[in-house]
């Protein structure tokens, strides 16, 4: 993890809400978003924040697993790569 965004926050209610918000950003990005629309402004930092929260929670959410977070990361990186490849292709 690059940064510790939630190191000083131990309120489970806030952490669940924030994790949900971060997941929503991932879904939006996969639909038609850009990294600048992510809460953390980059895929790497977004996923890092999600993992930080997930690992901090004693009671893991039923609606999100670490495997799903990893899937978001893989899909988002693939989508960004595809976008960048299209951009290079169209700029030629």
Count of structural domains within the chain: 1
What sign does the dihedral 23-38-50-5 (CA atoms) show? Answer: negative
> Whole-model pTM?
0.87
Dihedral angle over CA of 80, 84, 40, 24, nearest 10: -40
Distance CA 39, CA 21 (A): 8
pLDDT per residue rounded down to tens, the chain (92 residues): 457 888 888 899 999 999 999 999 999 999 988 999 999 999 999 999 999 999 999 999 999 999 999 999 999 999 999 888 876 555 55
3: in domain: no
| Residue 26 and residue 32 in contact, taking contact as beta carbons nearer than 8 Å | no
Q: Note the pLDDT tens digit of each residue in 47-73.
A: 999 999 999 999 999 999 999 999 999
The residue range of the domain holding 42 is: 12-91
In a domain, 2, yes or no: no
């Amino acid at each position: 993890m690059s940064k510790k965004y939630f190191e000083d926050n131990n309120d489970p209610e806030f952490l669940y809400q924030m994790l949900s918000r971060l997941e929503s950003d991932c879904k939006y990005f996969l639909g038609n978003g850009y990294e600048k629309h992510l809460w953390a402004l980059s895929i790497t930092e977004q996923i890092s924040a999600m993992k930080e929260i997930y690992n901090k929670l004693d009671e893991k959410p039923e609606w999100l697993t670490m495997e799903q977070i990893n899937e978001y990361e893989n899909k988002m990186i693939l989508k960004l790569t595809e976008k960048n490849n299209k951009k290079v292709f169209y700029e030629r």
